[in-house]
Amino acid sequence: MNDLKESLRPVFGGEIIDDKKSLEAYGNDASIFEIIPTLALKPKNPQDIKNIVCFISEHKKENPTLSLTPRAAGTGMAGGALTSSLVLDMKNLNAIKEVTDDYAILEPGVFYRDLEKATLVRNRIMPSYPASKDLCAVGGMVGTNASGEKTLTYGSTERYVQNLKVVLADGNEYSFGPLNKNELDEKMKLATFEGEIYRKLYTLIEENYEEIKSAKPKVSKNSTGYALWNVWDRKTFDLTKLFTGSEGTLGITTEITFKLIKPKNESALLVLFIKDLFTLPAIVNKVLEHKPESLESFDDNTFKFAIRFFPDIVKSLKAGIVSLGISFLPEFLMVLTGGVPKLILLAEFTGDNKDEVVERARVAQKDMEQFGIKTHFAKTDADAKKYWTIRHESFNLLRKHGSGKRTAPFIDDIIVAPEHLPEFLPRLTKILEGYGLLYTIAGHIGDGNLHIIPLMNLRKKIERDTIIELEQKVFDLVFEFKGSMSAEHNDGLIRTPFLKQMYGEKIYKLFEETKNIFDPQNIFNPGKKVYGNTLNFIKEHIDKVY
């Protein structure tokens, strides 16, 4: 390790970290895994990244274990930023270079919360933020093709990436954006690594065009595999669609240009209390008829955690405990009287006219009478915010208060088309109940996207074995309904072994060819997307000390 560190010093101007405590911190993210890197590198500029890529390329044959894994905020739940080789900490690349009414140009280490502050000055947002928006960085959002509560209306991150600068395997930085056919032809004439990439990828997509298009999962959002189906529609060739969601396996992003939108000025929140999951699909479909901007959910276990650990909610809301306590009285009474609903839905209606927005929410509320469920119309922003806070804090509440157990995200991001929920949900529930686990369900119910987080004691081998067994059963069910095992959290360590099953041998082979086109020496984040680790490797690297 010391020899490697000394070899890097002449070519790397940033910080090289090798102390045990720091490396152990880099060995974890929000996933169930722990893998300690050899070194952590903090580049101070893109030149550092270019230099380190060239270094690895030159020394890969003599040391095949050398690789480079980018890490932004480390909030990923799939282990995508974990490596036993070199981790590239992008925190110092955190400049917001330009913000206009139409776009923002920034570096990958920028926290989303800082981007949001800069864009709200102009009454603009980049709307694909996840529930962890106060913690995550934009490089990770691009790497995973993140999405969140506004995706129902606005779509995933891929829709907002206009341009990317990326350091490729030859050590050079390139700019990528949408090209028309004439521009594509000019790129393919280049006698460079860039030209080679365009030629080879264009050929790969054209020769398998129909198969690639039909391989796209039949859901509203997806972050598994390589999104080859979005690159070329025979009018526009756009490699940003491929890099977005690629988890840093094709190159290292150094600059992002996001399209911005103007958010709606007015909103109204309708809260629905669902007694059982059997009525859920019909309720969801009826609510969707009224075109909510968001349709989110959290379950009874999340609700009970929020009431039980009320001080955490107070801290999150930054509100006075007395006034907030009064506002939560109905929820406290609901828990005390044993009337906790199985699922709580949050239907947010937005627009530019307050009366029109309220009217739509009221009409939707009236429509719920046919289902005999309780509803609540949030009359104030504070009233609405408490429900949103429970939804956003669901994962953190579990992490903090697991009573000796820990959150285990491994079936945390499944998605099927909403029309399949009537048949899908009962079968999913039956699988989960067979294991007797305490778990929470939250997520983007309007998209059919469910975040299922069990609490487990991963010190026990039987529970670590359960992860792979239960994961396989749930994914089998998801694939049966033509869904995706990840709508927004990506593949990482936990899902890569199942990609071949999800897409089939032919498409998976095209994923491997895509990786080889961009990264023939397997420099960038190996073991993710293709050439993944075995299930035994996954079990061996589950973090047992927490």
* pLDDT tens string 457-504: 999 999 999 999 999 999 999 999 999 999 999 999 999 999 999 999
pLDDT confidence of residue 321? 47
Cβ 137 vs Cβ 236: under 8 Å: no
Task: Tell me the pLDDT of the chain averaged across its residues.
Answer: 92
Rg (CA), the chain: 23
Q: What is the pLDDT of residue 401?
A: 63
Give percent of the chain with pLDDT exceeding 70.
Answer: 92
Closest CA to 386 of 288, 283, 295, 307: 307
pLDDT digits (tens, 9 = 90+) for 391-449: 877 677 766 666 678 889 999 999 999 989 889 988 998 999 999 988 888 889 999 99
CATH class of the domain at 96-259: alpha beta
Question: 265-397 — its CATH code?
Answer: 3.30.70.2190
pLDDT tens per residue, range 54-104: 999 999 999 999 999 999 999 999 999 999 999 999 999 999 999 999 999
Enclosing H/E stretch for 180: strand 178-180
Q: Which residues contact 430 (CB under 8 A, 6 or more apart)?
A: none
Three-class secondary structure of residue 466 per DSSP: helix
Give residue 326's pLDDT: 53
Long-range contacts of 115-122 (CB under 8 A, 24+ apart): 115/258, 119/260, 122/260
Give the distance, in angstroms, between the CA of residue 414 and the centroid of all CA atoms in the same chain. Answer: 11
Evaluate if residue 342 carries a pLDDT over 50: yes
Q: What is the pLDDT of residues 204-253, one digit of tens each?
A: 999 999 999 999 999 999 999 999 999 999 999 999 999 999 999 999 99
H helix intervals, 289-344: 300-308, 310-317, 321-327, 329-336
To the nearest whole percent, how much of the chain has pLDDT over 90?
A: 78
Question: What tokens were used for 97?
Answer: 């270079």
Return the bridge partners of 101, or none. Answer: none
Give 291 or 303, the one with higher predicted confidence: 291
Contact, 27 vs 89, CB < 8 A? no
DSSP per-residue letters across 350-369? EES-HHHHHHHHHHHHHHGG
> Average pLDDT for residues 162-173, to the nearest whole number?
98
The pLDDT score that the predictor gives to residue 329 is 58
Pick the CATH number of 2-91 from 3.30.1360.70, 3.30.43.10, 3.40.50.720, 3.40.50.150: 3.30.43.10
User: Look-up: residue for tokens 């949050």?
Assistant: 346
175-211: per-residue pLDDT in tens?
A: 999 999 999 999 999 999 999 999 999 999 999 999 9
Residues near 250 by beta carbon (within 8 Å), at least 6 away in sequence? 166, 168, 242, 243, 514, 515, 518, 519, 524
Is a pLDDT exceeding 80 seen at residue 6? yes
